[in-house]
């Protein structure tokens, strides 16, 4: 198996995996989505809410506000599988604001300087003149399999590596190039060819195939090559999500191996 990184930023990574199988790539995708620990607000005590927003909606918004959850931040916090998870103290947040104003994520005051909202400008609620909002909240570590607020990825998907071929037995059909919505195909009438500019950007929509009356173009994919994209909500770097997902998968495989070696007695 070969892996090549195509691009990487603070919240997105794109890489190509060659010579792998769908179940394996899909297992990594699922682990990245639901088995990577992340911090999110779990308990909210609304002491006073004069705004027009219902308490439940406000609590929901707070839960979905991304909090910094990298490895350093999570270190030492109780995980859901720990025995003392329910009684353990999470990270406390407090908020007191008076209208008129828009209350933003930056107004949440954290008890731990490492754990705070990733973005300062997420609007939480609008307060009118004289309205007061006073809350306390507790953030805990959890997994995406329990609730979407603990899911670190906003995009976690793969597609099989596209393959475009031309039928040399028929006349060249320039219409298929014009039909591509992504500008991947370029007609070169001088050399009587259609050039493929960026094959990895092909969505395999087959608009080009439908536009060709003489079946000049074919769009398929490589069975065992994949283009994988992970985008996070900013709570942790995408590479960290990927590494953690692989660790989780490795641990599950280890357990299975031990179980098999012990004769299936455990």
- Contact positions vs ligand SF4 (CB under 6 A): 164, 179-180, 182, 184-185, 202-208, 219
Q: Before 19, cis peptide (omega within 30)? A: no
Distance CA 161, CA 224 (A): 8
202 is in an annotated binding site: yes
205 known member of a binding site: yes
CA 185 to chain centre: 30
| CA–CA separation, 33 and 241 (whole Å) | 9
Decide the pairing of beta strands 12-18 and 2-8. Answer: antiparallel
Residue 29 beta carbon to ligand SF4: minimum distance, rounded to whole angstroms: 22
- Minimum distance between the CB of residue 19 and ligand SF4, rounded to whole angstroms? 23
Closest to ligand SF4 by CB, 120 or 200: 200
| Identity of the residue, 3 or 197, whose beta carbon is nearer to ligand SF4 in the bound complex | 197
Indicate the helix (H) or strand (E) that contains 136: strand 132-142
Which of 177/245 has CB closer to ligand SF4? Answer: 177
When the beta carbons of 96 and 166 are compared against ligand SF4, the nearer one is: 166
Q: 10 Å Cβ neighbour count for 218?
A: 14
CB of 200 to ligand SF4, least distance (A): 10
Shortest Å distance, C-beta 6 to ligand SF4: 17
Listed in sequence order, the residues at least 6 apart from 252 whose beta carbon sits closer than 8 Å to its beta carbon are none
**28 or 164, CB closer to ligand SF4?**
164
**CA dist., res. 72 & res. 75, Å (int):** 5
**Is 31 annotated as a binding-site member?**
no
Q: Least distance from C-beta 168 to ligand SF4, angstroms?
A: 18
| Phi/psi at 147 (5° precision) | -160, 145
What is the DSSP-derived secondary structure letter of residue 176? H
**Which single residue is written with the structure tokens 């890489």?**
15
Nearer to ligand SF4 (CB atom), residue 44 or residue 164: 164
Minimum CB–partner distance for residue 9 and ligand SF4 (Å): 24
The pair phi, psi for residue 162, each rounded to 5°, is -65, 155
> Which segments are annotated as binding site for [3Fe-4S] cluster?
202, 205, 208
> Which segments are annotated as binding site?
202, 205, 208
């Amino acid at each position: 198996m070969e892996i090549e990184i195509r691009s990487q930023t603070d919240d997105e990574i794109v890489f190509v995996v060659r010579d792998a199988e769908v179940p394996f790539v899909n297992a990594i995708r699922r682990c990245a989505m639901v088995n990577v620990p992340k911090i999110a607000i779990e308990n909210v005590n609304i002491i006073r809410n004069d705004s027009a927003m219902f308490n439940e909606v406000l609590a929901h918004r707070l839960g979905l506000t991304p909090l910094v959850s990298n490895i350093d931040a999570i270190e030492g916090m109780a995980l859901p599988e720990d025995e003392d998870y329910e009684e353990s103290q999470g990270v406390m947040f407090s908020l007191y604001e008076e209208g008129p104003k828009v209350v933003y994520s930056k107004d949440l005051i954290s008890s731990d300087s490492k754990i705070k909202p990733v973005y300062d400008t997420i609007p939480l609620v609008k307060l009118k003149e004289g309205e007061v909002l006073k809350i306390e909240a507790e953030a805990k570590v959890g997994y995406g399999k329990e609730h979407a607020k603990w899911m670190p990825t906003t995009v976690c998907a793969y597609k099989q590596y596209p393959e475009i071929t031309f039928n040399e037995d028929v006349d060249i059909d320039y219409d298929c190039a014009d039909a591509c919505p992504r500008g991947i195909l370029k007609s070169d009438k001088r050399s009587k060819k259609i050039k493929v500019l960026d094959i990895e950007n092909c969505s395999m929509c087959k608009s080009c195939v439908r536009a060709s009356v003489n079946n000049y173009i074919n769009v398929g994919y490589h069975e065992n090559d994949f283009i994988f994209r992970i985008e996070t909500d900013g709570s942790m770097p995408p590479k960290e999500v990927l590494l953690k997902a692989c660790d989780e998968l490795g641990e599950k495989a280890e357990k299975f191996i031990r179980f098999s070696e012990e004769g299936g007695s455990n």
